[in-house]
Amino acid sequence: MRRLRQLPTLRNIVRETRLHPADFIHPLFVRPGRGIRDPIASMPGQSRFSVDTLVKECERSFRLGVRSVLLFGIPPDKDSLGKSGYAKNGIVPRAVRALKRALPDLVVITDVCLCEYTDHGHCGVLEKTKGRRKKYAVDNDRTLPLLAKMSLAHAEAGADVVAPSDMMDGRVGAIRAALDSRGFSQTPILSYAAKYASAFYGPFRDAAGSAPQFGDRTGYQMDPPNVREAIREIELDVNEGADMVMVKPALAYLDVIRAARARFDVPIAAYNVSGEYSMVKAAARAGWLDERRVALEILTAIKRAGANLILTYWAPDACGWLHSA
Ligand code: PBG
């Protein structure tokens, strides 16, 4: 077996999996203001951008090879219904318009979920429950029209793809119907189909200020031990009209990516989430790991498992590393 491992040139021609800049989607946080680049303490190297600096950041990463971004909004104010999330001139629609004007060839995907916009931090509208142990639960069916409204606001601003991450049942169908009825039948949906109730989202919640103020997300996000259930989730979303589906997180769920790839022929995305990124950053800062080698190994593993697209905070860095490799 060692004959083909002797030289970089030989290893290169027999390599089974290759990363390419077009594999990556860079998640970015946008907030109100001007000239702001607010570093996220829990995610070294990532910032919350105002619209103007976001455009500059995307121009820089586009030059490196990044061809797609996913936007998360950090609104000026939050309320129980997340109204700032579906305002036509909200933070995400404004960012989308500016980005599409400056970089028409950048694929702009928007995250569709209420948790960044609600004061309670849950991904939907709350209802009081009667006679159950929990006092509140997320009301699935009252949340759907709000997600549809948010998707429309993003599509009207020019979003190339909308990506619902809330994990309500039936939201892909509701969003598809709303988009179709308003002239956006050509706007694709990337659904966070198999999204787990994971502790790896910790740094993100700090970045977006979206941690639930009470309770947790186990009532709507998936239970980590389950893989057959992920297949059912994906099947439902594909049947409701999802054009692409996502598994999230990625690294601790490579088996789920693999199972999804084997069963479905739609493009599969995997989200290399904040905790997976920040763990490596922390270890690299301590001098315990080589960030570049570990990051490329992780991204390669996610692709090898079967992902076609990888959402990763390393997107611009990884493009740079691939160029210099
Ligand atoms: C919420 C959302 C979350 C992430 C993406 N969309 C957080 C959550 O479910 O609490 C996490 C991303 C990451 O950790 O990098 N709509």
Residue whose Cα lies nearest atom 14 of ligand 1: it is 201
Pocket mutation for ligand 1, best pick of 216, 273, 277, 281 (most atoms within 8 Å of C-beta): 273
Q: Is 124 within a domain?
A: yes
In the predicted structure, residue 325 carries a pLDDT above the cut 80 = no
In the predicted structure, residue 293 carries a pLDDT above the cut 90 = yes
Determine if ligand 1 sits within 6 Å of the CB of residue 277. Answer: no
Whether residue 195 lies in the annotated active site: yes
**Per-residue model confidence as pLDDT tens digits over 42-100:** 999 999 999 999 999 999 999 999 999 999 999 999 999 999 999 999 999 999 999 99
Residue whose Cα lies nearest atom 11 of ligand 1: it is 201
What is the number of structural domains in the chain? 1
Determine if ligand 1 sits within 6 Å of the CB of residue 196. Answer: no
- Active-site option among 78, 149, 195, 303: 195
Q: Is 11 within a domain?
A: no
**Per-residue model confidence as pLDDT tens digits over 157-178:** 999 999 999 999 999 999 999 9
Q: Is the dihedral of CA 205, 210, 213, 218 positive or negative?
A: negative
Q: Is 3 within a domain?
A: no
Domain that holds residue 53: 19-324
Q: Is 9 within a domain?
A: no
CA separation for the pair 153, 227 (Å, rounded)? 34
Q: Is 167 within a domain?
A: yes
pLDDT for res 200: 98
Cβ atoms of 154 and 208 closer than 8 Å: no
Whether residue 134 lies in the annotated active site: no
pLDDT for res 134: 74
Mention every residue, 6+ apart, whose C-beta is less than 8 A from residue 301: 251, 254
The CATH number covering residue 257 comes to 3.20.20.70
Q: Is 1 within a domain?
A: no
| Mean pLDDT, range 216-244, rounded to an integer | 97
Q: Is 197 within a domain?
A: yes
Report pTM. Answer: 0.97
Closest ligand 1 atom to 277 CA: 15
**Per-residue model confidence as pLDDT tens digits over 180-221:** 999 999 999 999 999 999 999 999 998 998 899 999 999 999
Q: Is 279 within a domain?
A: yes
| Mean pLDDT, range 265-287, rounded to an integer | 98
Residue type, 107: V
- Active-site option among 78, 149, 248, 281: 248
